Amino acid sequence: MAKSISFRDLAIGFAIGAAAASLLPVFLPDASGRRRELAKAGLKKTVRAIEGGVEKLSELREDVEDLLAEVSSEMAEEARKGDASTDIRDESETG
């Protein structure tokens, strides 16, 4: 099962990547031409992670909506049963 990525982890990863990309010319002067490609690769990974997070949130929202619908249905059924038992008690008391 894949580990879910939190927004905090994503922000930290992005910050580390941006810092590394900005320091790249200092440590590797001949690699400064690759900064754009490295930045693009990092952004692609970030976008994919965000899209995965959005998909997971969508699934979670659907699950919660289903659960709420079930609970609402059960509560309505319990209320109907409660009303029916109240009606029976009322009839026996008046009769």
Rounded distance, CA 32 to CA 22, Å?
9
pLDDT at 36: 75
Question: What is the number of structural domains in the chain?
Answer: 1
| Structural domain includes residue 78 | yes
| Structural domain includes residue 1 | no
| Structural domain includes residue 14 | yes
| Structural domain includes residue 90 | yes
pLDDT at 93: 58
| Structural domain includes residue 89 | yes
Per-residue pLDDT tens, the chain, 95 aa: give them: 456 667 787 788 778 878 877 777 777 666 656 777 877 888 888 888 888 888 888 899 999 999 999 999 999 999 988 876 655 555 555 55
Do residues 10 and 49 make contact, with C-beta atoms less than 8 angstroms apart? yes
Domain residues for the domain of 45 are: 7-94
| Assessment of whether the complete model's pTM goes beyond 0.85 | no
Q: Where do the H-state alpha helices sit in the chain?
A: 7-27, 35-94
